[in-house]
Amino acid sequence: MRIDSATRDQLQEWEKELSTHYQRICQHELSLDITRGKPAADQLHQSDGLDGILNGDYRAADGTDTRNYGGRNGGGLEGLLCARELGADILQVPTEEVLAGGNSSLTLMYHAVLTGYLFGFAGNKPWRELQSPKFLCPVPGYDRHFSICEQLGIGMVNVPMTETGPDMDAIEEEIKKDQGIIGIWCVPKFSNPTGVTYSQETVVRLAQLAQIANPGFRIFWDNAYAIHDLEQQINLPGIRAASLENDTADSVLQFASTSKVTHAGAGVAFVSASTANLASLKKQMHAMTIGPDKVNQLRHSRFFAEFTLLKKHMQKHAQILKPKFACVLSQLESAFGDSDLGEWEKPKGGYFVSFNTRPGCATAVVQLAADAGVKLTPAGATFPYGKDPEDRNIRIAPSFPPLEELDTAMSVFILCVKLASVRKKLEIL
Amino acid sequence: MRIDSATRDQLQEWEKELSTHYQRICQHELSLDITRGKPAADQLHQSDGLDGILNGDYRAADGTDTRNYGGRNGGGLEGLLCARELGADILQVPTEEVLAGGNSSLTLMYHAVLTGYLFGFAGNKPWRELQSPKFLCPVPGYDRHFSICEQLGIGMVNVPMTETGPDMDAIEEEIKKDQGIIGIWCVPKFSNPTGVTYSQETVVRLAQLAQIANPGFRIFWDNAYAIHDLEQQINLPGIRAASLENDTADSVLQFASTSKVTHAGAGVAFVSASTANLASLKKQMHAMTIGPDKVNQLRHSRFFAEFTLLKKHMQKHAQILKPKFACVLSQLESAFGDSDLGEWEKPKGGYFVSFNTRPGCATAVVQLAADAGVKLTPAGATFPYGKDPEDRNIRIAPSFPPLEELDTAMSVFILCVKLASVRKKLEIL
């Protein structure tokens, strides 16, 4: 189907056919959901051994009684040493630069933004004292990142994503013209939602930004999918090494968690940063908590006693996820491979497929799908303030539903894309 | 020993005797610690059945798969229904007014203060927009409460504690003269550190404060020791009922946790508040987290399947704690019962004994004890900014050390009190 070269008659005929088809689908009263990047039950099941793994022995290898406040090796606030080692393995950084937190890396990111906003990192001016503090937001991106900025009144500047990461020319230009830019959100591997992994050049240029940016500038490196490869392991160039080479180590804050490794929302989150940044973070967190849940940290350390066990565990996830991604991608390819109806990346890991409709169609697609019983992430959700300027991007999350449901949902999705595209074209003809 | 009626000669003789005794003790090279309100290992052991209690069944009674994001009955942000029911039992409030959080009530309090400070509760002006926002701080009190205010630059006004709770006359006076008062910290049962439980009159007068205070005024009701009775149950008058009667329900935020019930720092925390307050809190928390660790919430719900089980569990704690409190109180009584060297409350629960030296002696006592190998909570820690204006208060935490160590530590403590008191008197004579 090629809309731009179709005649009005052809379009009208398509609209009629597609509408009829759509009406039939609506009568099926489907109730399907591909909105959320949630692991499926069989994925979660792989980690059910966590409960009970301690077998009555709550003492960590370093002697810390995880059942009590405090502990050895930094004790409370940094988290358990063996949990920090796990985080260090995932993020490929030294253990002493890692803090193991509670169940959510989003929470660690929130507190990192709060630290910058209220108190300033490493002796820099608190962002709230700047006239107009702003984050750069590669789009499409992760809505929860944007919500943090929105809540604190931190401005957001859209930057387009490319196949190698965010558009670095645009980023450097923004920073040069506006010293109010004090941060950037990055999901560097299997980016949410595009699935792109940043290239070596992108990582190096990001690491160099602190040389031209406000001294308080920080890169929020949300490595949520660090070990979430579907096939062979994709190598994300290290931002730590690049920042050390460029003498900009203080500009980087890295995050990861086991949320899509073990049980979603019941795992362990990590932040890695320079000594100066960690000191600022700990100062903020000291007023808020005695420390994270060390018992659960110990469970995770025991469950992944060696990094090879973690890698094998992630392969099991991949085996479950692969047919789902294949289903989405093959349906898209056969429906739109030879069309002018949409574009998408082919991610090699992560949790999403990002689909761009023709301009001005995404909202209509989501609405049509909803009316046919297929719930999609709201159009615009992948942009700051929920506003997709071109109304194009839709995030597809294949992980949660069983394969047959996903297959049905994708058929409905494709029909809705076709219908909305034809109607839009007729409208503007 | 009565210092005020002693002659200089008598004092000098005492000083000599006590110093000799103290020198002998110092040679023992003790290493004892009665600083922290930490449960002892045998207390923690009572909850070791938590790990493994799920027995592979991660599904809550309402059908929520606790291993995944979200859930039924409010799902993510409010926490698991059965965990909220546990919190409702502890706080004696309706389940729908309870939110079950992560591992720390301190964290919930921090976010509640943050909500008031940055965004305002229930449509009220954010505290940061007031000229000089302040909390009332009954003293001595809990240092972590004061740290939250200090970090956010919220002023603190000391209010003396009495045997029935904070001095309500002083509180009402402060509020009448200063509309910048926007909060008060309360540990209403077995107060940290005095052990006092608020009287009916105190609770009612607190519930009435919102009638004269700034509309944004909030009572932070940290009911940390709600079920931590040593003997028969002490009844804390309900602030919720009192606030409903006075049409001030929005002025109350209640907190509790299982930190000193199951494993310290690995339990579940609760906040209870009016619908309007909970909505404000959830709005703030939405940007920060998908939700709390529901797996651990489910463990706690299963472990305390009925409230009677929780009560029995607390009786086991009491059996372990009672001899320790008895040790502290009997040593204090026999040393200072007939003296002018100090005053203390006799708590019927909680985790602390609060001791007031003669004015100007607390710092010296803590230092002497430290040099003799007995670590005490720093003098001043129970006051805002760490400043005890009379340098009198010392918080004794009997729970953590074994009984014999506690007994030795108390003997050293008593010797240090005597020595510091005599020296101080000689100095000012």
Same domain membership, residue B315 and residue B300: no
| Minimal CA separation from A418 to chain B, in Å | 32
B289 Cβ under 8 Å from any chain A Cβ: yes
| Minimal CA separation from B1 to chain A, in Å | 39
Residue among A53, A55, A67 with most chain B CBs within 10 A, to mutate: A67
Domain that includes residue A17, residue range: 8-43+310-428
Structure tokens at A212: 């031209």
Same domain membership, residue A89 and residue A171: yes
Q: A305, A336, A356 — which closes off a domain?
A: A305
A48 Cβ under 8 Å from any chain B Cβ: yes
Same domain membership, residue A365 and residue A239: no
Phi, psi at B57, each rounded to 5°: -105, 95
Q: B304, B335, B370 — which closes off a domain?
A: B304
Domain presence at residue A53: no
Domain presence at residue A55: no
Choose the closest CB to A44 out of B68, B103, B152: B68
Per-residue model confidence (pLDDT) at position A75 = 63
Per-residue model confidence (pLDDT) at position A19 = 98
3-state helix/strand/coil string of chain B:
CCCCCCCHHHHHHHHHHHHHHHHHHHCCCCCEECCCCCCCHHHHHCCHHHCCCCCCCCECCCCCECCCCCCCCCCCCCCCHHHHHHHHHHHCCCHHHEEECCCCHHHHHHHHHHHHHHHCCCCCCCHHHCCCCEEEEEECCCHHHHHHHHHHCCEEEEEEEEECEECHHHHHHHHHHCCCEEEEEECCCCCCCCCCCCCHHHHHHHHCHHHCCCCCCEEEEECCCCCCECCCCCCCCCHHHHHHHCCCHHHEEEEEECCCCCCCCCCCEEEEECHHHHHHHHHHHHCCCCCCCHHHHHHHHHHCCCHHHHHHHHHHHHHHHHHHHHHHHHHHHHHHCCCCCEEECCCCECCCEEEEECCCCHHHHHHHHHHCCEECCCCCCCCHHHCCCCCCEEEECCCCCCHHHHHHHHHHHHHHHHHHHHHHHHHHC
Categorise residue A38: left if φ over 0, alpha if ψ from -120 to 50, beta otherwise: beta
Question: Please, which residues 202-231 of chain A have a Cβ atom closer than 8 Å to chain B?
Answer: none
Question: Please, which residues 119-148 of chain B have a Cβ atom closer than 8 Å to chain A?
Answer: 119, 144, 147-148
Q: Give the CATH number of the domain where residue B74 resides.
A: 3.40.640.10
| Minimal CA separation from A264 to chain B, in Å | 5
Q: How many domains does chain A have?
A: 2
Per-residue model confidence (pLDDT) at position A74 = 61
What is the DSSP secondary structure assignment for residue A124, as one 8-state letter?
A: P
Q: Give the CATH number of the domain where residue B22 resides.
A: 3.90.1150.10
B56 Cβ under 8 Å from any chain A Cβ: yes
Per-residue model confidence (pLDDT) at position B70 = 86
With bands split at pLDDT 50, 70 and 90, how would you rate the model's confidence at A429?
confident
Same domain membership, residue B226 and residue B143: yes
What kind and span of H or E run contains A108?
Answer: helix A105-114
Per-residue model confidence (pLDDT) at position A115 = 98
d(CA A17, CA B135): 68
Choose the closest CB to A41 out of B65, B144, B152: B65
Choose the closest CB to B56 out of A36, A48, A76: A48
Per-residue model confidence (pLDDT) at position B75 = 63
Domain presence at residue B249: yes
Choose the closest CB to A263 out of B111, B287, B295: B295
Same domain membership, residue A166 and residue A102: yes
Contacts of A70 in chain B (CB under 8 A): 36, 38
Same domain membership, residue A162 and residue A97: yes
Residues contacting A299, CB < 8 A, separation 6+: A50, A51, A53, A54, B51
Query: Residue B51 and residue A51: Cβ atoms within 8 Å?
Result: yes
Choose the closest CB to B294 out of A55, A266, A286: A266
A58 Cβ under 8 Å from any chain B Cβ: yes
CB A261 within 8 A of CB A231: no
Query: What integer is the mean pLDDT of A69-90?
Result: 89
A68 Cβ under 8 Å from any chain B Cβ: yes
Choose the closest CB to A51 out of B39, B52, B263: B52
Which one-letter amino acid corresponds to residue A201?
E
Query: What integer is the mean pLDDT of A129-150?
Result: 97
Same domain membership, residue A228 and residue A299: yes
Same domain membership, residue A332 and residue A299: no
Cis peptide upstream of residue B126 (ω within 30 degrees of 0): no
| Minimal CA separation from B378 to chain A, in Å | 17
Query: Residue A68 and residue B296: Cβ atoms within 8 Å?
Result: no
Choose the closest CB to A110 out of B36, B41, B287: B287
Domain presence at residue A323: yes
| Minimal CA separation from A51 to chain B, in Å | 5
- Confirm whether the ipTM is greater than 0.90: yes
Query: What integer is the mean pLDDT of A207-220?
Result: 98
A110 Cβ under 8 Å from any chain B Cβ: yes
Same domain membership, residue A128 and residue A254: yes
Choose the closest CB to A296 out of B44, B288, B293: B293
pLDDT at A76 over 90: no
Per-residue model confidence (pLDDT) at position A70 = 86
Same domain membership, residue B249 and residue B107: yes
Residues contacting A329, CB < 8 A, separation 6+: A344, A346, A353
Per-residue model confidence (pLDDT) at position A133 = 98
Per-residue pLDDT of chain B in tens (429 residues, 90 and over written 9):
999 999 999 999 999 999 999 999 999 999 999 988 999 999 999 999 999 999 999 999 999 999 999 887 666 899 999 999 999 999 999 999 999 999 999 999 999 999 999 999 999 999 999 999 999 999 999 999 999 999 999 999 999 999 999 999 999 999 999 999 999 999 999 999 999 999 999 999 999 999 999 999 999 999 999 999 999 899 999 999 999 999 999 999 999 999 999 999 999 999 999 999 999 999 999 999 999 999 999 999 999 999 999 999 999 999 999 999 999 999 999 999 999 999 999 999 999 999 999 999 999 999 999 999 999 999 999 999 999 999 999 999 999 999 999 999 999 999 999 999 999 999 998
Contacts of B151 in chain A (CB under 8 A): 119, 284, 287
Choose the closest CB to B66 out of A67, A266, A289: A266
Per-residue model confidence (pLDDT) at position B76 = 84
Q: What is the mean pLDDT of chain A?
A: 97
Per-residue model confidence (pLDDT) at position B157 = 98
Domain presence at residue A279: yes
Cis peptide upstream of residue B193 (ω within 30 degrees of 0): yes
Query: Residue A110 and residue B289: Cβ atoms within 8 Å?
Result: yes
Query: What integer is the mean pLDDT of A137-149?
Result: 98
| Minimal CA separation from A289 to chain B, in Å | 5
B80 Cβ under 8 Å from any chain A Cβ: no
Domain presence at residue A50: no
Domain presence at residue A130: yes
d(CA B86, CA B95): 8
Residue among B59, B66, B69, B192 with most chain A CBs within 10 A, to mutate: B69
Domain presence at residue A424: yes
With bands split at pLDDT 50, 70 and 90, how would you rate the model's confidence at A318?
very high
Residue of A nearest to B37 (CA): A69
With bands split at pLDDT 50, 70 and 90, how would you rate the model's confidence at A156?
very high
Query: Residue A266 and residue B118: Cβ atoms within 8 Å?
Result: no
Pairing outcome for strands B218-222 and B252-257? parallel
pLDDT at A356 over 80: yes
With bands split at pLDDT 50, 70 and 90, how would you rate the model's confidence at A127?
very high
Per-residue model confidence (pLDDT) at position B359 = 97
B293 Cβ under 8 Å from any chain A Cβ: yes
Same domain membership, residue B142 and residue B253: yes
| Minimal CA separation from A70 to chain B, in Å | 9
Same domain membership, residue B166 and residue B65: yes
Q: A284, A305, A326 — which closes off a domain?
A: A305
